[in-house]
Every structure is written in structure tokens, then in C-alpha cells.
Structure 1
Amino acid sequence: MKVAIFGAGYSGTAIGALFAAQGIPVVGTTRSASRFGQLTEAGISPVVFDGAMIGDHLLEHMKDVTHLVQSIAPGRDGDPLIRLFDNEPKRFLPRLQWIAYLSTVGVYGDHKGAWVDEDTACRPVSDRSVERVEAEQAWQTLAAGQRIPLSVLRLSGIYGPGRNGFVNLANGTARRLVKKDQVFNRIRVEDIATATAFLAQRLYDGIINVTDDEPAPPQDVVAEAARLMGIEPPPEQDFESAELSPMARSFYGENKRVSNARLKAMGFKFTHPNYRQSLADMWAKKNWNKPQQTAF
């Protein structure tokens, strides 16, 4: 087994680190050689990939890859690997056995706070979510045509060491925006990694929500982080009158509760099933501001 992580960013690095900890060779791409040290420390062989061309070094690595994880976001021109593969992934990855595509629960769109699952129709609102739906469909078409199992992981709001409410409170950027009945799901980055490995072991083929048990109002998460830190939380702000960037405001245009029942029915157990347990874990371990200290 050899794993390739295309887009070894926050989630991709955690996924690669878990496979590497299991003694599995991992290659990970990054746009900048400045991240080579960080990836090497995680056990990942780093390669520069700009999304436009697969260089000779990366091609050499790809000859032995059996499991592909695509974590690069699509753009207006679609998914970069779909374009480069031109419907022939095995020309580059002759031993390929399984693909994971990291998508987002944003593809479901707005459901007025109702529960959604993998069978819920996608009604994307934002341009970035529309692009995700198109990328999912492109990967499904490619995988079906090549008879390669494809896991589409729909991820909720990603957080973990180095990216969480503690960090925001510490640097003064935390806000408690209140919008009536608004909730969000979240997912701890380590649970993304363990879910990816779980699905890889089974060569799972299908769509799967990777999200926590408890959709909750965002202001409650900030308040809990402040409580654990022993500080006063920032004051609540009304969402409608708050100054926000168009992108930040767009996140609040989608309100839903995302079910993880399918993944749990397969036997997967979340290490961090809700934000309270997860925040308490990071605070106790003192790793909340150390993004590469994952518990593998």
C-alpha cells in the first residue's frame, strides 16, 4: 500500500501522518517547498505540485500509489486532477485501487435547520459549493468508468490543534455572532484522518458524511472555549447588523443538521463526537495551539 495526498494542507497532513504512523509510505503535494519540513516531520514525502502540471518527481512516486486522497479544492475550471488525468488515471497511477475525494457538507445547501443525510438532494447555494457538486460528479464519473472504488467524504467545519476557538480567543479574533436557530456541524481533524483510513481499509465506494454528533450554535462553541480558558467570552453580536465579509456572511446562509449515522453504522467510532469533549481534550493536552501534534 502507498498513499498519495494531493493537497497536503491541514486535513491532508493529518491524513498522511496517520498512514505514515502505521508504516505506510505517503507522498503529499504542496504548492510551496517552504512546507517540506512540516510534511517531512509528519512522515510524508513532500513534492511540489502547482495544479497545472505533474512533474517527473511526482510521476515517479505515482507509479506505486495504490490509494489516492484528493484534497485540492476545485475552481471555476473544475478539479485539477480530473483535467490532468483526462479520464485515464491509471496512465499515471497504474496500481490505483481506491480514491478518496474530500468534499464538504456545503453541497447540501440550506435546509432551514432540518436533518440531512447522504440521500438528501444537493441544493448548493454558494459558488464554491456548486463547484464542489460538479467536482463530486466528475470524480464519480471517472471512478465508475475505471471501476475504481470512490469514497466521497463530505466534511463539516474542520477544526483541531492550531485551528479552534482557543486560538481565536487568544489572538482576539473570536466573535459570538448570533443568528436565530442557526447551527453548524463540526469535525475534528484527527477524526477526518481516522475516517479516511477506516474507509481505505474497506475500499469503501460511496458518499459518506464525516461530521460530529452535535450540530450547535456557533456562539456556544466560543463560550465553551472561553469557559475552559477561564476568561470572559466576547459579547454576543447580532448577525444581521454585524460587519462581515461576503464569504463569512454566506456561511450563515446555509442552516442544516448533518447526520453521521451511515458512518457509525459501519462501525466507525469518533474520538471527538462533540465540541465540548473535543475542546476539553485539547485544553487538557495543551496542544490547542500546535497544529502538527496529532494523537496518532
Structure 2
Amino acid sequence: MNLVILGYGYTSQAFARRVRGRFARIVGTVRSPERAAALGGDGVEVRAFDDPSIAAEIEAADALLVSIPPDGEGDVALRRFADALARAPRLRWIAYLSTVGVYGDHGGAWVTESTPPRPTSERSVRRVAAEADWLAFGERAGKTVQVFRLAGIFGPGRNGLVNLAEGSARRVIKPGQVFNRIHVDDIAGVLEAAMERPRAGAIYNVSDDEPAPPQDVVTFAADLLGAAAPPAVPFEEAEMSAMARSFYGENKRVSNALLRGELGYRLLYPTYREAYRALAASGEGQA
């Protein structure tokens, strides 16, 4: 079997590592030939997204993972490769990685896959449109398309322990604010479980069990490292980018009951605590 990954980034690389034994060939795309050369190896053929060979690779694929954000004109991958996708005779599974940002703000209430999206940012508006385009394509082409709405991604090299060690961690306090998170290895596990049960049109929230205040995570990470937690900063006084501030404008608790019930997947890291303990044990955040 062959796997094509459009957007061979942090999350996609974790998935490739998990499933490399299932596929005879894995091809991943990145933005430039230079980036492709830097990432090549480890059982994955990495090429530039605009390489002329990618359409043929898609036509020979059994599975496709799409991890490229849409632009102002729609979904980049679907716009470029719709014909190749429709022609692919063995393509039985297409996974589109989206975000829980599509739900917008719910004042801390729980959301499920049946909660209607009401995005508040332009990037999330684009995601909702891209989800719809991929699901519609699947219906037209007779392909199994699934959408995965990811919570805040973290894992090796990208976590609060590293931020503390680098001096970039902050403890911003906004009363009542919570976020869900998801370890990159659990994303890979959910994708593999869904690939084994390819229900066409499925949408899954990929999140942990415990929505938590961001300052609690920073404090927990500091305790693991035996370091002092950064001082508390009220949200109104915190200096942050417009994008970072927009995340605090959306407050919700994301249910993962569907992936646990339908896919039977058990999270490796149900909460940030198990994940951070494992990361700290592996040396993350150490000088």
C-alpha cells in the first residue's frame, strides 16, 4: 500500500513514524525543494508540493493525509489535485486535519461534533469551508473522506517544559478560560484507528479528556522541572500577538467521546499531566 502526505510537518511526521510498517511507500510534500532535501530519509520520500510527480503519486495512493491550511481561495490541495484524487483507483481513505477553532466561542460549555461551527476568526472560517469542500468531494468522487478537528498540539520539542527552559513561558490569567490539548502521538494513534474503520463523512474531535486553564499547565511544568513558575499576568495586561490573543477569545470544552466510543481509541495521554511527566522523564526542558 502507498500513503501520500500533503503537508509533511510536525503532526504528519508523527503519523508517518507510527504507520511506516503498514505501507510499502510513503511520499510527503513540503513547500520547497530545500525543505524536502532537509527532511528526506527515515522511510519517507519528501518532495516539494509543486513537484510534477505528486499527481501520479496520488493516483497510485491507497491513503492520503492532508495537513495544509487553506488560503484565501480555498483548499490548496483540493484545488491542485482534485482530478488526480478522483482518478485514484485504490484510494480508500482521505484524512483532512482541521481544528477545534471551527466551533468558535461557547463560554466554556462543552462542544461535540454535532455542535454547529460558528468560527470567529478568518482562519477558522476558511477551515469550515475547507472541511465542507473535502466532504463534498468525497461524496461526488465516491471516496471516504474524514475530518479530524485537532485541539492544541504539543509533544516532543513543542511543550511548556521547553518554553520554560527557553524563558518564553508565561502564565496569563483569564478567569474561567480553559483549553483542550492533544499530544502529537495521540493524533497519530487516532488517525491509525480511523484508517482501520473508514466511515465516509466522519468528523472527529481529537482532544484530551481534561480542558484546563493554561496557567495550570505552566505551573505543573515548572513543578516537574523544580523551577519557579513565571509570575501571573492578567490577560488584559499581557503582551501577545493578535493571533495569540484571539485564542483567548474562544472558550470551550471539547468532547472526545466519539473517538473513544466509535473508534475504541484509548488516549496515551488522557490529560496534560501524564504527557508532561513522560516528556520530563525523556529530558524535555533540561539544560
What range describes the TM-score normalised by the shorter chain of this pair? over 0.9
The match for 1:171 is 166
Q: Say which of 267, 271, 276 aligns to 2:268.
A: 271
The match for 1:71 is 67
The match for 1:292 is none
- Distance between the aligned counterparts of 1:84 and 1:90, measured in 2? 12
SS, match of residue 147 in structure 2: strand
CA offsets, 1:244-294, max 9 Å, x none? 2111110000000000000001211110110001000111122568xxxxx
Report the residue type matching 1:107 in the other structure.
Answer: V
Q: How many residues get paired?
A: 284
Q: Say which of 77, 80, 103 aligns to 1:108.
A: 103
Report the residue type matching 2:278 in the other structure.
Answer: D
Q: Please say which of residues 12-21 and 229-238 is displaced more in the overlay.
A: 12-21
The match for 1:142 is 137
CA offsets, 1:153-207, max 9 Å, x none? 0000000001000111111110000001000000000111111111011113210
Identity across matched positions, percent:
48
SS, match of residue 111 in structure 1: coil
SS, match of residue 11 in structure 1: helix
- Distance between the aligned counterparts of 1:275 and 1:264, measured in 2? 18
Q: Say which of 71, 78, 82 aligns to 1:82.
A: 78
Report the residue type matching 1:227 in the other structure.
Answer: D
Gaps of 5+ in 2: none
The match for 2:179 is 184
Specify whether residues 155 and 24 from structure 1 end up closer, same or farther in structure 2 by C-alpha distance, changes over 3 A only: farther
1:31 to partner: Cα distance: 1.2
- TM-score, normalised via structure 1 length: 0.91
Q: Please say which of residues 280-289 and 243-252 is displaced more in the overlay.
A: 280-289
Specify whether residues 39 and 198 from structure 1 end up closer, same or farther in structure 2 by C-alpha distance, changes over 3 A only: farther
1:24 to partner: Cα distance: 4.4
Specify whether residues 58 and 288 from structure 1 end up closer, same or farther in structure 2 by C-alpha distance, changes over 3 A only: farther
Q: Say which of 207, 211, 219 aligns to 1:211.
A: 207
CA offsets, 1:213-239, max 9 Å, x none? 000000111111111011001001000
Q: Say which of 113, 118, 125 aligns to 1:123.
A: 118
Report the residue type matching 1:184 in the other structure.
Answer: F
Tell me whether 1:155 sits opposite 2:155 in the alignment.
no
- Distance between the aligned counterparts of 1:212 and 1:69, measured in 2? 21
1:17 to partner: Cα distance: 1.5
8 A contact 1:112–1:255 mirrored in 2: yes
- TM-score, normalised via structure 2 length: 0.94
8 A contact 1:160–1:288 mirrored in 2: no
Gaps of 5+ in 1: 290-296
1:35 to partner: Cα distance: 3.8
- Distance between the aligned counterparts of 1:62 and 1:111, measured in 2? 39
1:37 to partner: Cα distance: 5.8
8 A contact 1:13–1:39 mirrored in 2: no
The match for 1:262 is 258
8 A contact 2:96–2:148 mirrored in 1: yes
Report the residue type matching 2:32 in the other structure.
Answer: S
Q: Please say which of residues 127-136 and 61-70 is displaced more in the overlay.
A: 61-70
Matches within 5 A, 1:220-235: 220-235=216-231
SS, match of residue 237 in structure 2: coil
What is the RMSD of the two structures over their aligned residues, measured on CA atoms?
A: 1.7
8 A contact 1:20–1:42 mirrored in 2: no
SS, match of residue 240 in structure 1: helix
The match for 1:237 is 233
- Distance between the aligned counterparts of 2:43 and 2:283, measured in 1? 23
- Distance between the aligned counterparts of 1:90 and 1:147, measured in 2? 8
- Distance between the aligned counterparts of 1:58 and 1:229, measured in 2? 45
Q: Please say which of residues 271-280 and 75-84 is displaced more in the overlay.
A: 75-84
Q: Please say which of residues 273-282 and 25-34 is displaced more in the overlay.
A: 25-34
Q: Say which of 248, 258, 262 aligns to 2:244.
A: 248
SS, match of residue 182 in structure 1: coil
- Distance between the aligned counterparts of 1:280 and 1:24, measured in 2? 35
8 A contact 1:17–1:44 mirrored in 2: no
8 A contact 2:55–2:81 mirrored in 1: no
CA offsets, 1:4-47, max 9 Å, x none? 11001111111112111445421110113344466444421111
